[in-house]
Amino acid sequence: MKLFEKLLNPREIRKKLGLNQQEFWTKIGVTQSGGSRYESGRNMPKPVKELLRLVYVEDVDLSRVKKEDFDVIDYLKTIQPDLYKQLRKEAKSGKKGDGQ
């Protein structure tokens, strides 16, 4: 088992968060019964693993993410890499820009 997969033990994450299966799995679009099977050892498809990582490890609120957000990120990374790095650094530190 890869270290990354070991870190993504859904049952452990769910219990640490104090969520029941319905609450935990619904947040990433998986039924409670499907989630129960994954927690019991059934292989999780790669897209489900990725959603699990994004929501519960990276703390991404999927309801707020739009395709346009990724378009802007890709544009900044390609056209303005220094600005992208600066904005990413400021976002991590919680600083507000001059335009606020």
Say if residue 100's pLDDT is above 60.
Answer: no
Reported residue count of the chain is 100
Give me 92's structure tokens: 């991590």
**54 plus 96 within the same structural domain:** no
pLDDT value at residue 8: 73
Average pLDDT over the chain reads 87
Q: Helix (H, G, I), strand (E, B), or coil: what is residue 37? A: helix
**15 plus 59 within the same structural domain:** yes
Tally the domains of the chain. 2
CB 45 within 8 A of CB 10: no
pLDDT in tens, 26-69: 999 999 999 999 999 899 999 999 999 999 988 899 889 899 99
Sign of torsion, CA 7 53 14 39?
negative
**83 plus 100 within the same structural domain:** yes
Give me 47's structure tokens: 């897209």
For residue 25, give its domain range: 3-63
**15 plus 37 within the same structural domain:** yes
Say if residue 3's pLDDT is above 80.
Answer: no
pLDDT value at residue 15: 94
**53 plus 85 within the same structural domain:** no
CA 66 distance to own-chain centroid: 14
**21 plus 34 within the same structural domain:** yes
